[in-house]
A and B are shown apart, each in its own frame.
Chain A
Amino acid sequence: MDVLINLIKIIGVFSLLMGLVSVMTWVERRLSAIIQYRLGPNRVGPFGLLQPIADGIKFIQKEDIIPAEAHKVFYVLAPALAVIPALCAFAVIPFGPTVTILGQQVKLVILDLDGGLLWAFAATGLGVYAIVLAGWSSNSKFSLIGGLRSSAQMVSYELPMALAVASVVLVSGTLRPTEIVAQQAGAFWHWNALKGGWQLLGFVIFTIAGYAETNRTPFDLPEAEGELVAGYHTEYSGMRFAAFFMAEYINMMTSSALAITLFLGGWQLGIPEAWQPQPGWLLWGLQIGAFFAKLAFFQILYVWVRWTLPRFRYDQLMNLGWKGLLPISLANLAVTAILVAYDLVGH
């Protein structure tokens, strides 16, 4: 029975993520069009909603080009290596409370690990290989520079990100995402970003580092068009190219979901418990809805930022990471540690 429930959860989350990815490609293009005073894709289906399907058909039909001098094994492997860790990381994200279906207690999280946060970091850390290998195996100088840039960038920004997470771990005293969410129950000021843990600074650091980790503007130097054609995926075409984009969107969702879980109460509604409906399908539905509403907000923020801010220069990026975010996140960790030690903050 447990195996069956897990299988259903895995298939459900997998198809949901894939569905959200295709919706996101549409949102990104329509929203960028609105920001730039254009219309965007509006021909295929109502409001252009069927555009992702048309894109999918186009990608499958395109010729799959492997450059003559490429390292074939890694060239073929790299897109898969991008998608798999991205999907694995999402496994530890709780997207709803424990619900009762047909007398069975079901936790709405695939993998309720004691070290769940570490699992998410381990999985996203492995995502670097895809970009590095794609850049190297293409045997093109643009790809190689893109790959090198991304490895340096991701290793640098992992540090402030991990330190921001460590502050939350200090406050909650656990690495288990479901428990961190449970501690933030009640009104929205109990969330870790607010009075729950005074981690507003940590939240800002985590979000900025998240943009760098997912290679999104203003930190998209690994694929800076003006200098590198398309960076690490210059040589890719068809479905393999699409796989990199899928990985980017899934990574965006994982990083937003982690931010929500750690700082913004996860699936908690954020209203006092007295105002919430009785435990039942209404409450559970609202809570799952709250999680996905928060997720949607973060996705739109990603698009908004991308089409508003210009790209950093490479030295500015490194300066911001090492001389800006790292000291600030260290200070945040130290202050949080002192507050926790004197019982001024914590659950």
Chain B
Amino acid sequence: MEQIAFFVLALLVVASALSVITNRNPVTCAVSLAFNLVAIAGLYMLLDAQFLGLMQVIVYAGAIMVLILFVIMLLNLREEEQPHPAGRVQRVIAPVASLAFSIVIGRAVFASAPSSFPDKAEGFGNAAALGNELFTKFYYPFEAISLLLIVAMVGAVLLAKRKVE
């Protein structure tokens, strides 16, 4: 049952990811990306990381991708804009480089894959377990990230603000 779910989700993830990079229409790309994010959330849920999966849908698919769609529509990037034509050097180097990169990554994943997965602790992946970890073991990194986000937010507001006469 889990295996069937995994393969269905994996197929959806790969198909939507391909759709993101092969489509010329920016709205189609954005929707494919949102679909991809939801499918990955499904994979997280399969791995018992329920909180992470639901947060992925709420934050990335539900908020960030909606804002990206919003911007695309405001800019009215309606029909397939002609991309910059790829140069000859680019045409040769790009496939070779990406092939080499995927081989390296693939080998690394296979080399580091454990033969068996560790037993998961009681309550693994739910909000309570994650909260306990975040506010005890990872307290300082967590606060540092919060600070970084606030700085980014203040910066964005300052940049967007009109000059006061």
Chain A residues within CB distance 8 Å of chain B: 71, 73-74, 113-115, 118-119, 121-122, 125-126, 128-129, 132-133, 135-136, 144, 147-148, 151-152, 154-155, 158, 175
- Contacting residues, chain A, for B57 (C-beta < 8 A): 122, 125-126
Tell me whether A118 and B73 are in contact in the complex, defined as CB-CB below 8 angstroms, given that A129-B66, A155-B67, A158-B63 are known contacts: no
Stretch from B47-55, B86-94, B95-103 at the A interface: B47-55
Chain A residues whose CB sits within 8 angstroms of the CB of B73 once the complex forms: 132, 135-136, 144, 147-148
Verify if B62 is at the interface (C-beta below 8 Å from A): yes
Contact A114 B58 (CB under 8 A): no
Contact A119 B31 (CB under 8 A): no
Residues of A within 8 A of B51 (CB): 115, 118
Chain A nearest Cβ from B126, distance in angstroms: 4
Shortest beta-carbon distance from A264 to chain B in Å? 23
Contact B58 A151 (CB under 8 A): no
Q: Are B66 and A128 in contact (CB under 8 A)?
A: yes
Complex interface: chain B residues within 8 A of A71 (CB)? 25, 27
Counting chain B CB atoms within 10 Å of each CB, which of A114, A133, A158 scores highest? A114
**Cα distance A113–B55 when bound, in Å?**
14
The reply to whether A115 and B127 form a contact with Cβ atoms under 8 Å apart is: yes
Are A115 and B54 also in contact (CB < 8 A) when A74-B31, A129-B34 are?
A: yes
Shortest Cβ distance from B129 into A: residue? A114
Overall SS of chain B's interface: helix
List 14 additional contacts besides A122-B58, A122-B61; criterion CB under 8 Å.
A71-B27, A115-B126, A118-B127, A122-B57, A126-B57, A129-B34, A132-B66, A132-B70, A132-B73, A136-B27, A136-B73, A144-B73, A148-B70, A151-B67
Chain A residues lying within 8 Å of B34, measured Cβ to Cβ, are 129
Task: Give chain B residues whose Cβ lies under 8 Å from the Cβ of A128.
Answer: 62, 66
Say what secondary structure dominates the interface of chain A.
helix
Number of A-B contacts (CB under 8 A): 73
Q: Is B69 an interface residue (CB 8 A)?
A: yes
Q: State whether B58 touches A118 (Cβ < 8 A).
A: yes
Report Cα–Cα, A151/B55, bound state, in Å.
19
A113-B50, A118-B54, A126-B62 given; A148·B27 CB < 8 A: no
Could you list some 27 contacts between A and B, CB below 8 A? A71-B27, A73-B28, A113-B50, A114-B126, A114-B127, A115-B51, A118-B55, A119-B54, A121-B62, A122-B41, A122-B58, A122-B62, A125-B66, A126-B62, A129-B66, A129-B69, A132-B66, A132-B69, A132-B70, A133-B31, A136-B73, A144-B73, A148-B73, A152-B70, A154-B66, A155-B67, A158-B63
- B74 contacts chain A at the CB level, 8 A cutoff: yes
Known A-B contacts A74-B27, A136-B27, A175-B127; A125 and B70 likewise in contact (beta carbons under 8 Å): no
Identity of the chain B residue whose Cβ is nearest the Cβ of A132 in the assembled complex: B69
A contact residues around B69 at 8 Å (CB): 129, 132, 136, 151
Instruction: With CB as the reference atom, state the residue of chain A lying closest to B54.
Output: A118
Report how far A132 CA is from B66 CA in the complex, Å: 8
CB-CB under 8 A from B55, the residues of chain A are 118
Is A155's CB under 8 angstroms from B66's CB?
yes
Q: How far is the CB of A187 from chain B (nearest CB, A)?
A: 29
Q: Report the bound CA distance from A71 to B51 in whole Å.
A: 35
> In the complex the two chains form, what is the Cα distance from A114 to B57 in whole Å?
16
Inter-chain contacts of A115 with B (CB < 8 A): 50-51, 54, 126-127
Q: Decide if B38 is an interface residue (CB 8 Å cutoff).
A: yes
Please name the residue on chain A nearest to B34 by beta carbon: A129
A162 CA / B45 CA spacing, docked (Å): 22
A306 to chain B, nearest CB (A): 25
Which A residues touch B63, using CB under 8 A? Answer: 125, 155, 158
Could you say which residues of chain B place their CB within 8 Å of the CB of A74?
27-28, 31
Instruction: Name the residue of chain A whose CB is nearest to the CB of B63.
Output: A155
Give B21-53 as 1s and 0s: 1 = Cβ < 8 Å from A's Cβ atoms: 000010110010010001001000000001100
**Contact assessment for B66 and A151 in the assembled complex, using a CB-CB cutoff below 8 Å:** yes
Least Cβ distance of B75 to chain A in Å? 12
Interface centre among B27, B55, B58 (most CB of A within 10 A): B58
Flag if B27 contacts A125 (CB, 8 Å): no
**CB-based contact A151/B127 at 8 Å:** no
Minimum C-beta distance from B98 to chain A (A): 28
A122 to B34, CA, bound (A): 13
The answer on a CB contact under 8 Å between B70 and A151 is: yes
Chain B residue, CB-CB nearest to A121: B58
A128 to chain B, nearest CB (A): 5
Q: How far is the CB of A135 from chain B (nearest CB, A)?
A: 8
